[in-house]
Amino acid sequence: MLKPILRKPILREPIRPTIKKLPIRPTIKKLYNRFYNSYPLIIHCPNIKNSLIAFPDLNFLKYFLTPKVKFGLYNTNYTILFCNTYNSNSILQQSLDCWSIPAVQLGLGTIFPPGCWTKNLLLIKAAPSIKTEFFFYLDAFDVLCCSNDLNRAIELMRQKKCDVLFNAETNHHPENFETMSWERSIVNNNPQCFLNAGVSLWRTSFFLEIMEELIPLKKQAKSNDQASMKLLYRKYYPRIQIDSKSEVFQVLTPPDCCVYMREYLDIL
């Protein structure tokens, strides 16, 4: 009698559902100012390239030059303008690229004499072609963007009911300029009482309204772009104001800023 052939059972792997691995979105850190309990969006750090070498406390700023996931919140209500005479990426451009925020370069191939008066001329020339309700005008080589949502700066400007918002700082430049005592009187009990023109947010219609006044100010401002803005600030306040509490803009001036950073600034 034939014996039945016993076959070994075929062991099969259990069917498991395919799990798609989603890309990990990194935690986006923010700059936090403990003194004012604020989260600045844009930092202006004069002479930042040398400062990063000379002052190790500034190294935390390199975080804002590292690539982020491409999910910018670019809002068509504003345009970002900056001046760069060279065909190369400035620190500002690198930080904007990290957040996927587009910007418009002015001044390629232009020679900038001392005082940066050329910045005013380039802006006057470009202004009629700006199609957005607002625009940022930023320095290229010592300014970093710290966020992908710059709309908060526009919200602050609306809260203040002004047409221009400038950065604020503790140093008055040019030294002993005629607006110094007036600027200090406007912002009481706050060391950041002086206008800094390296970072500004404008209502486009207001700049078109007053831009012809800039050219005659050249002599009085001694060909200095920041001095000319201080003169406009004095004339048009409160339509022109400064961010004296670093709610959206922050100035860091080495070497004093290193003490300030250790005491008041964090990345959260």
* Closest among 106, 29, 27, 46 to 250, alpha carbons compared: 46
- The answer to whether the Cα torsion of 138, 84, 111, 48 is positive or negative is positive
When pLDDT is averaged across residues 38-56 and rounded to a whole number, the result is 76
d(CA 245, CA 265): 13
Residues 220-240 as b/e (b if ≥16 CB within 10 A, e otherwise) read ebebbbbbbbbbbbeebeebb
Between 20 and 224, whose confidence is greater? 224
Between 98 and 197, whose confidence is greater? 197
d(CA 232, CA 120): 13
Model confidence band, residue 97 (pLDDT cutoffs 50, 70, 90) = confident
What single-letter amino acid sits at 53? I
d(CA 246, CA 41): 9
Task: Find which of 57-66, 135-144, 251-260 is predicted with most confidence, using mean pLDDT.
Answer: 135-144
Q: What is the pLDDT of residues 165-185, one digit of tens each?
A: 999 998 888 988 999 999 999
Helix (H) / strand (E) element for 158: namely: helix 151-160
**What's the mean per-residue pLDDT of the chain?**
83
Between 149 and 139, whose confidence is greater? 139
When pLDDT is averaged across residues 193-215 and rounded to a whole number, the result is 96
High-pLDDT (> 70) share of the chain, %:
76
Residue 124 φ then ψ, to 5° = -60, -40
Q: What is the pLDDT of residue 261?
A: 63
d(CA 58, CA 17): 49
When pLDDT is averaged across residues 49-58 and rounded to a whole number, the result is 62
Q: What is the pLDDT of residue 190?
A: 86
d(CA 268, CA 264): 12
Between 114 and 212, whose confidence is greater? 212
**Looking at the predicted structure, is the pLDDT value of residue 3 above 90?**
no
Tokens standing for residue 166: 């400038």
When pLDDT is averaged across residues 205-209 and rounded to a whole number, the result is 98
**Looking at the predicted structure, is the pLDDT value of residue 10 above 50?**
no
Model confidence band, residue 73 (pLDDT cutoffs 50, 70, 90) = low
d(CA 46, CA 51): 8
**Looking at the predicted structure, is the pLDDT value of residue 139 above 60?**
yes
pTM, entire model: 0.84
Q: What is the pLDDT of residue 64?
A: 77
Model confidence band, residue 228 (pLDDT cutoffs 50, 70, 90) = very high
When pLDDT is averaged across residues 229-235 and rounded to a whole number, the result is 98
d(CA 94, CA 97): 5
Fold of the CATH domain 31-63+74-267: Spore Coat Polysaccharide Biosynthesis Protein SpsA; Chain A (3.90.550)
High-pLDDT (> 90) share of the chain, %:
50
CA–CA distance from 202 to each of 30, 137, 229 (Å)? 24, 8, 12
Q: Residue 85 CA to chain centroid, in angstroms?
A: 19
Q: What is the pLDDT of residue 175?
A: 87
Tokens standing for residue 86: 């060279």
Contact criterion met (CB below 8 Å) for 167 and 198: yes
CA–CA distance from 204 to each of 81, 167, 261 (Å)? 12, 18, 34
Q: What is the pLDDT of residue 98?
A: 83
CA–CA distance from 69 to each of 40, 66, 72 (Å)? 20, 10, 8
Tokens standing for residue 120: 């005013």
Domain ranges of the chain: 31-63+74-267
